[in-house]
């Protein structure tokens, strides 16, 4: 029977040994980056990726604004006075003044810190979005691999059933077997044919999901290419979710500090010149105008900003603590699942090998007339089930490694 090659990285065994996990199911190393290619294709289609450059530009513009020597652009104030509508004695006065807003104490440094925190938050949100997309790509990839497996095994089962039915038909014609045996064999073919149709539909659905996510055709290779097993470590602050929540808390903290510095409107420095005369015929007198505008009273909106920023900071920090505990539990569960599936792969392969040898024995015995058809069909079904379990366990192990990497916050490589 045709055998397919299933590839799991050789680094997997080394990682299991380093982690203290069993390494009975060591599989040959391979290369390949199907998941990575699908992930990059899917990310190129995401709206967040297309808007990323503009969001970075906005963050940089915010930092540049915080570095300016004035919080707001200067304003030009032009004034003209005349007695033309009263006694019209020729009195005139013209004044041109530039009003320059001034930073409040500590406002500029806090504005720069808030802008820098927002810039970091933009990158953290993009990374977290990529990480969540990686989870969808990994899930779609292994769902397609499982569907391909079911379709391949169903096709093999049909081919074996057809071969057996042809053999039974010849023996029925020769009088070696009863017609009921022929009906049993044809029933097995019909059941296998139905299983192929169901597996084909499932494979089509899985392929369509992959295409809708990545815009690329589904992988056509038969071999399973696993990701590299991750190191035995718990997630740290670089985990995309934790980094996003930490950045969100930092932005809220900086915004609260900025709101605490903006307790009133910005003062203004006024610089200008004036020209005036008392009556017609006199020369214009020029003067320099210097003034300072200082708002009085506190800014009522700053209290609302401080309270809102404080609530957001508390929420983000609380969620960060909860997410840290959840991710640690998820990583531990994923690691234990990989260990269990490693053992399961070894057991399933041993069962498949033994069932295959038994099938060969009973096939020869059936041809010699030493075994009846029900026994032959039972042995064939057991061998098919064993092969299905072995190949399925390899896919489940590879998918578990991907989930382990996902829980650690690692993107496809």
DSSP letter string over 210-241? HHHHHSSPPP---S-BPPPPPPS----TTSHH
Q: How far apart are CA 78 and CA 67, in angstroms?
A: 29
Q: What is the pLDDT of residues 185-209, one digit of tens each?
A: 888 889 888 989 998 999 999 999 9
Nearest-10 Cα torsion for 165, 171, 173, 178: -90
Determine the pLDDT at residue 249.
92
DSSP strands (E only) in 278-389: 285-293
Q: What is the CATH number of domain 11-67+103-263+298-323?
A: 1.20.1600.10
Q: What is the pLDDT of residues 87-145, one digit of tens each?
A: 778 788 888 999 999 988 898 999 999 999 999 999 999 999 999 999 999 999 999 98
CA-based nearest residue to 310, from 263, 361, 354, 259: 259
CA-based nearest residue to 105, from 59, 73, 71: 71
Q: How far apart are CA 203 and CA 152, in angstroms?
A: 10
Q: How far apart are CA 165 and CA 159, in angstroms?
A: 10
Determine the pLDDT at residue 280.
79
Strand pairing report for 285-293 and 268-277 = antiparallel
pTM metric for this prediction: 0.76
Q: How far apart are CA 230 and CA 239, in angstroms?
A: 14
Please identify which residue in the block is written with the tokens 């292994």.
142
* Dihedral sign from CA coordinates of 184, 185, 190, 194: positive
Determine the pLDDT at residue 167.
79
Rounded to 5°, the CA angle 50-52-57 comes to: 125
* Dihedral sign from CA coordinates of 190, 196, 202, 204: negative
Determine the pLDDT at residue 209.
92
Residue numbers of the chain with a pLDDT score lower than 50: 1-33
Q: Which residues contact 94 (CB under 8 A, 6 or more apart)?
A: 79, 80, 81, 274, 275, 276
Burial class of 345 by CB neighbour count within 10 A (0 to 12, 13 to 18, 19+)? buried
End-to-end C-alpha distance for the chain, whole angstroms: 34
Determine the pLDDT at residue 188.
84
Determine the pLDDT at residue 216.
86
Determine the pLDDT at residue 117.
92
Q: How far apart are CA 16 and CA 337, in angstroms?
A: 12
**Domain boundaries along the sequence of the chain:** 11-67+103-263+298-323
């Amino acid at each position: 029977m045709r055998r397919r090659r299933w590839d799991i990285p050789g680094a997997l065994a080394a990682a299991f040994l380093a982690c203290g996990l069993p390494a009975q199911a060591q599989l040959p190393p391979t290369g390949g980056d199907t998941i990575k290619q699908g992930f990059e294709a899917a990310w190129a289609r995401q709206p967040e990726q297309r808007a990323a450059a503009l969001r970075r530009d906005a963050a940089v513009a915010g930092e540049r604004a915080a570095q300016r020597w004035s919080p707001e652009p200067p304003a030009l104030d032009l004034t003209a006075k005349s007695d033309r509508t009263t006694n019209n004695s020729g009195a005139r006065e013209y004044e041109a003044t530039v009003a320059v807003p001034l930073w409040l104490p500590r406002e500029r440094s806090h504005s720069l810190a808030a802008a820098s925190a927002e810039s970091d938050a933009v990158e953290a949100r993009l990374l977290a979005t990529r990480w969540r997309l990686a989870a969808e790509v990994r899930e779609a990839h292994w769902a397609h691999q499982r569907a391909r497996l079911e379709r391949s095994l169903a096709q093999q089962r049909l081919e074996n059933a057809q071969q057996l039915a042809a053999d039974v038909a010849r023996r029925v014609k020769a009088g070696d077997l009863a017609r009921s045996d022929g009906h049993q064999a044809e029933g097995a073919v019909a059941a296998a044919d139905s299983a192929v149709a169901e597996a084909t539909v499932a494979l089509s659905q899985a392929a369509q999901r992959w295409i809708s996510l990545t815009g690329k055709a589904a992988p056509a290779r038969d071999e399973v290419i696993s990701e590299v097993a991750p190191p035995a470590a718990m997630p740290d602050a670089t985990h995309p979710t934790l980094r996003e929540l930490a950045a969100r808390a930092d932005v809220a903290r900086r915004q609260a500090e900025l709101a605490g510095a903006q307790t009133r409107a910005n003062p203004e420095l006024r610089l200008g010149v004036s020209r005036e005369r008392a009556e017609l015929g006199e020369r214009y007198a020029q003067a320099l105008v210097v003034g300072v505008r200082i708002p009085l009273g506190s800014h009522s909106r700053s209290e609302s900003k401080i309270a809102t920023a404080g609530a957001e900071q508390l929420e983000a920090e609380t969620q960060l603590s909860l997410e840290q505990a959840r991710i640690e539990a998820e990583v531990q569960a994923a690691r234990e699942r990989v260990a269990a599936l490693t053992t399961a792969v070894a057991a399933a392969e041993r069962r498949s090998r033994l069932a295959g040898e038994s099938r060969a024995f009973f096939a020869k015995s059936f041809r010699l007339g030493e075994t009846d058809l029900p026994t032959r069909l039972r042995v064939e079904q057991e061998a098919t089930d064993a092969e299905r379990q072995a190949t399925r366990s390899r896919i489940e192990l590879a998918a578990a490694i991907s989930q382990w990497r996902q829980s650690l916050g690692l993107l496809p490589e």
